[in-house]
Amino acid sequence: MALPRLAPGTVLDGFVLGPLLHRGGMAALHEASHPDHPDTPLLIKIPRMQEGEDPAAIVSFEMELMILPRLSGPHVPRFVAACGFEAQPYLVMERIPGESLRPLLEALPRPPEEVAALGAQVARALDALHRQHVVHLDIKPSNILRRPDGRVVLVDFGLSRHDLLPDLMAEEFRLPYGTAPYMAPEQVMGLRGDPRSDLFALGVLMYFFVTGERPFGDPQRLSGLKRRLWRDPHPPRALRPDCPPWLQEIILRCLEVDPERRHPSAAQLAFDLAHPAQVPLTPRAGRAGRDGWAAVTRRRFNPEARPVFRLPGAARQQSLAPILAVALDVAEEESHQGALRAAVERILATLPGARLACLHVLRQNLVTPDSGLDSEGRNRHAVSLARLKHWAAPLGLPEERVTYHVLEAVSVAAALLEYVTVNPVDHIVLGARTPSLRRRWLGSVSAELAEKAPCSVSVVRPRRTGPEEEN
């Protein structure tokens, strides 16, 4: 089915084609306009269907037709209109007024701090996508755009998988579809649908940006693609000594062959990138060179050393690996702290991939600036941190599942609200105020959080035993 190339000025269902912006292997992208959408810059995508071209391009366009209208939020282009192959096919969406990350490839390497900040933005966008049941499966610089306000937009869902819709691409993997340098090992093996495949691709991107080298090159054959299943890349610090150990830790964790060893969710990856000081350093951080030939040979030839890939489903993986926050008043009585700990322990017990952020807000005096020292001259910040760690110790969480944060703010509620908004927290747990602490902070705080937080809020209150405590 060969259709004529469409020139600017052509009208499709009222959409007027503007200048050609890009002609790719699968589709042409034009600016577009429509009298009903006078204020929205539009982009129209028209699939290429010349004789002899890969027919999977048609399937890929149809996957995007199915997925894009079902996505929402600032991290995807807004869907406007579409037509399938029953007539001249096209897809109209919001045109993002910003460039992709592709031009940055001309100016590599980039400073590590910039790469981490960018990586965190992309991870936030992936988190938003995964929560909508979609795994992108083609994360690379040209598919990542930035809005003028810096927010990241993911484009091109032609290879994506929606775990509640039929996967028309699943039957097409006589060759794995994706972009060779960025493709996760499980994707190379034909598995479509693990959200952690996107974390691998983002790890490749961060590695490339920070070192100027692609961790697995740009293989052109399947055998070259499969090499990443057994051959580890040079650690970033070997190529770029000023890459901090925490960033090497994060990047190499993204590049783990077994998805189970990567971050359990994009939200958790975003969290680590935003809190460098809290990233627990494992031997990955200190790695100075690649594995020796003995280890590589074992991975390559011993079938038992190969990871077994399974598909968790985008939203399911997300729901098993939430970020839980607990707000503690470290001056609170031990009994109440114990009740809070018991509640958190019960939640964590059911969620093996969850991580916990322990928060305490140090109230700052609005009128007179705080010295940061209490009456005995101790550093209040350090004391609060020690108390948070003391509170969490009985939970027995491994280092990579718990972090501690002392926030300083005038308003406790505002500080907690900002924290759970900026960080992709799924659930915050806090204690109810106790009678003895009446008018201390938690009374109005829990009400305000319950009303305004973009996540679940649990308020823990030890069972009152008698009416006298009602006072």
Partner 1 sequence: MRFAVLADIHANRQACEACLRHAEGQAVDRYVFLGDLVGYGADPDWVVRMVRARLADPAAPALVVRGNHDEAVGRGDTAGMTGHAAAAALWHHQRLSAEDRAFLAGLPLEVEAEGVHFVHADPADPARWTYVTDAEIARASLEGGHAWLTLCGHVHAPMLYGLTATAKLAAFRPAPGVAVPLLRARRWLAVMGSVGQPRDGDPAACYAVLDTAAAECTWHRVPYDAAAAAAGIRAAGLPERLASRLLEGR
β-pair partners for 33: 16
| Rounded Cα distance, 271 and 140, in Å | 21
Least separation in angstroms between residue 54's CB and partner 1 is 9
Q: Per CB under 8 A, does 414 bind partner 1?
A: no
> x-or-dash pattern for partner 1, window 58-97, by CB under 8 A?
xx--x--xx--x--------------xxx-----------
Determine which residue in the list 104, 165, 239, 347 makes contact with partner 1, applying CB under 8 A.
165
Least separation in angstroms between residue 58's CB and partner 1 is 4
| Rounded Cα distance, 154 and 129, in Å | 9
Q: Per CB under 8 A, does 175 bind partner 1?
A: no
CA distances from 291 to 233, 297, 299 (A): 9, 10, 11
Q: Coil, helix or strand for 268?
A: helix
In contact, 202 and 254? CB cutoff 8 Å: yes
Contacts of 236-242 spanning 24+ positions with Cβ under 8 A: 236/207, 236/210, 236/211, 237/287, 237/288, 238/288, 238/289, 239/211, 239/212, 239/213, 240/109, 240/112, 240/210, 240/211, 240/212, 242/112
Q: Per CB under 8 A, does 164 bind partner 1?
A: yes
Q: Per CB under 8 A, does 156 bind partner 1?
A: no
Determine which residue in the list 166, 241, 398, 467 makes contact with partner 1, applying CB under 8 A.
166
CA distances from 221 to 165, 188, 225, 227 (A): 30, 11, 6, 10
Determine which residue in the list 104, 168, 395, 455 makes contact with partner 1, applying CB under 8 A.
168
Q: Coil, helix or strand for 435?
A: helix
Q: Per CB under 8 A, does 311 bind partner 1?
A: no
Q: Per CB under 8 A, does 170 bind partner 1?
A: yes
Residue 170 or 410 having the CB closest to partner 1: 170
Q: Per CB under 8 A, does 171 bind partner 1?
A: yes
Q: Which of 127, 138, 163, 426 is catalytic?
A: 138
Where is 46: in which H helix or E strand?
Answer: strand 42-47
Q: Per CB under 8 A, does 291 bind partner 1?
A: no
Q: Per CB under 8 A, does 172 bind partner 1?
A: yes
Give the N- to C-terminal CA distance of the chain in Å, as an integer.
80
> x-or-dash pattern for partner 1, window 38-57, by CB under 8 A?
-----------------xx-
Residue 329 among the catalytic residues: no
Q: What residues line the site for partner 1 (CB under 8 A)? A: 55-56, 58-59, 62, 65-66, 69, 84-86, 164-168, 170-172
